[in-house]
Structures are given as structure tokens and as C-alpha cells.
């Protein structure tokens, strides 16, 4: 009865410097490469819409053409409707990662939005949420603000999670390697929905997710450094042009974050004492609302 797939949207590190700040928007043909799936991933409508599909034989995926070192990335997504058990959408592969993952459901059950932060190969910082809307009915905007001080996860511009830079306390923070945006739609029925108890109903295939309005207001990386830190970029208003580089939460943002975490958070690694019998991670001792 259920359909299992994983939708992955990942920001991950790899090496690549472009001059100035990149502000890319709207045309996916200029910003995105379909990387796998044998025609199951498509860019349509002159670059205004991207689709990823999954069937019994393969999923599909894409990545951004550019790599970024700090910035704000937004993408509008409409998830697979109906039975989507086993689906997962995540940000990032195996090194430094900032992850948005959408865990699929059985019809009538809500999606689970899974977030994680990896730095220097260390993750285990999961927080999970239900959404306060049906993400299959319309497009919604999923955003990551990534600056030197913090990472902010947002849905429709509402903050759902903040991960602060606590390197001074010995907590690794991803700020030294550039990242690329990745997304994939793949079968994860061995674990994603109810621990793998719910399997994919392939009679409902193909499963399709929709993307549009990719926006990267970020410093592009291409080799050995980022020009956002250069005097040339500063003179051109490059790095200074983006509010993201010092973005934090004001009182309204903190109130919205509290609302989301009180009403919709279903898992927080910082409260899982059974998982960490030797003591919770250091960052869990600091307020998550700052």
C-alpha cells in the first residue's frame, strides 16, 4: 500500500573561486546540472521548472553548477503526493553537510522533515519536525542561511532550527570548505519510513518531485579561495551586499522558532539522553533559540 522514496536536497563540500558574490535566480538551466537518472530528471519550461522522478529501476538527482563558501540558498519544492513512504530528501553527501531531508509517508500521514549538520565528517545532530502544511499541495520555500556565526534552517522564511558556531568550545563548524547544492530522489524503503517496516508500492510509480526558483545569494568558490573576502569584491559591494552574512534571529524570529519547536518538533538529539549516556553534546548546553 505504501510508496517509498528518498528526496535529497544537499549542500555539501567540494573544491572549486569565482569573482564577487553570485546572485543566481530563476533559470535552472544556468544554475543546475542533472547528474543521474537516465532522463528521470528534467529541466522544463525554459529553465523555470525541474522535476525528479523515481521508478522501480532508478531515481534521479541534480547538483548546482557552482560551489559556495557561505551564503543563503533558497529552493521552492513541491513534494510527491499520496503514498510516499520511504522517501527522503537530504542536503549533503559524506563530508561537511547541511541537510534538509523529507522522509516519506503512508497516505494520510504527514511528511517528516529531517535536518542534520555534518562538520569534518561528524554528524549525529538530527532534529526532526512535522510541517504545519501539506507540502504536496503547493510549492514551499526551503532555505539555508550559512554564515560565519550560525546556520539557520527556514521554511517559508520561518526559522525552524539554528546551529551556532561554537568552535571556541570545541564544536566543529562547517566554514572552511566550499559546498555544492545536491538533490536526489531515491528508494529508501529499507529504513526511511517507520524504520523500513513500510515498503514501496511500485504500482504508484513514477514518483515525482518538483523544484523551481532556485536562488543562491552566496560567495562562489573556484579553486583556492573566495573573492567575497577580496578588496575588489568589497569595493564592488559584493560581500557587503548580502544581509545573510550577519543574519541572526530577532525577537520575532525567536518567537517563531519557539512556536515551531514547541508545536512541530518530534525529535531532538539534544534531549536524547539514552543515545548519549556519557552526556549530551557540548552545544546542547547552550540555548537553541539564540
Active-site residue, selected from the candidate residues 67, 97, 126, 167: 97
Whether the Cβ atoms of residue 43 and residue 49 lie closer than 8 Å to each other: yes
Other C-beta atoms closer than 10 Å to the C-beta of 33 total 14
d(CA 238, CA 21): 5
Could you say which of 101, 126, 167, 283 is catalytic? 101
SS (H, E, C) the chain: CCCCCEEEEEEEECCCCCCCEEEEECCHHHHEEEEECCCCEEEEHHHCEEEEEECCCCCEEEEEEEEEEEEEEEEEEECCCCCCCCCCCCCCCCCCEEEEEEECCCCCCCCEEEEEEEECCECCCCEEEECCCCCCCCCEEEEEEECCCEEEEEECCEEEEEEECCHHHCCCCCCCCCEEEEEEEECCCCCCCHHHCCCCCHHHCCEEEEEEEEEEEEEEECCCCEHHHCHHHHHCCCHHHCHHHHCCCCHHHHHHHHHHHHHCEEEEHHHCCCCCCCCCCHHHHCCCCC
Is 101 among the residues known to form the active site? Answer: yes
> What distance lies between CA 146 and its chain's CA centroid?
11
Tell me the three cell numbers of residue 182: 545536491
Q: Which three cell numbers stand for residue 194?
A: 517507520
Instruction: For residue 67, indicate whether it is catalytic.
Output: no
What is the C-alpha to C-alpha distance for residues 222 and 207, in angstroms, rounded to an integer? 35
Catalytic residues, which ones? 97, 101
Amino acid at each position: 500500500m505504501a510508496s517509498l522514496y528518498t528526496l535529497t536536497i544537499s549542500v555539501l563540500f567540494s573544491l572549486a573561486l569565482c569573482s564577487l558574490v553570485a546572485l543566481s535566480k530563476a533559470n535552472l538551466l544556468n544554475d543546475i546540472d542533472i547528474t543521474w537518472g537516465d532522463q528521470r530528471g528534467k529541466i522544463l519550461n525554459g529553465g523555470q521548472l525541474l522535476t525528479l522522478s523515481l521508478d522501480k529501476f532508478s531515481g534521479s538527482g541534480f547538483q548546482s553548477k557552482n560551489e559556495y563558501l557561505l551564503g543563503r540558498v533558497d529552493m521552492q519544492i513541491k513534494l510527491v503526493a499520496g503514498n510516499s513512504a520511504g522517501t527522503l530528501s537530504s542536503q549533503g553527501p559524506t563530508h561537511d553537510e547541511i541537510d534538509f531531508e523529507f522522509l516519506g509517508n503512508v497516505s494520510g500521514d504527514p511528511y517528516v522533515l529531517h535536518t542534520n549538520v555534518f562538520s569534518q565528517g561528524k554528524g549525529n545532530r538530527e532534529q526532526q519536525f512535522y510541517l504545519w502544511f501539506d507540502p504536496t499541495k503547493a510549492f514551499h520555500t526551503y532555505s539555508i542561511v550559512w554564515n560565519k556565526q550560525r546556520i539557520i534552517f527556514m521554511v517559508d522564511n520561518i526559522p525552524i532550527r539554528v546551529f551556532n558556531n561554537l568552535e571556541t568550545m570545541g564544536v566543529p563548524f562547517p566554514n572552511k570548505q566550499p559546498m555544492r547544492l545536491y538533490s536526489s530522489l531515491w528508494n529508501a524503503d529499507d529504513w526511511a519510513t517507520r524504520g523500513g517496516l513500510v515498503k514501496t508500492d511500485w504500482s504508484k510509480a513514477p514518483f515525482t518531485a518538483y523544484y523551481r526558483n532556485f536562488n543562491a545569494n552566496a560567495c562562489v568558490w573556484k579553486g583556492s579561495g573566495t573573492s567575497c573576502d577580496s578588496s575588489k569584491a568589497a569595493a564592488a559591494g559584493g560581500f557587503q551586499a548580502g544581509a545573510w552574512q550577519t543574519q541572526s534571529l530577532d525577537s520575532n524570529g525567536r518567537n517563531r522558532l519557539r512556536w515551531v519547536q514547541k508545536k512541530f518538533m518530534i525529535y531532538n538529539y539534544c534531549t536524547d539522553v539514552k543515545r548519549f549516556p556519557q552526556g549530551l553534546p557540548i552545544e546542547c548546553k547552550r540555548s537553541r533559540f539564540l
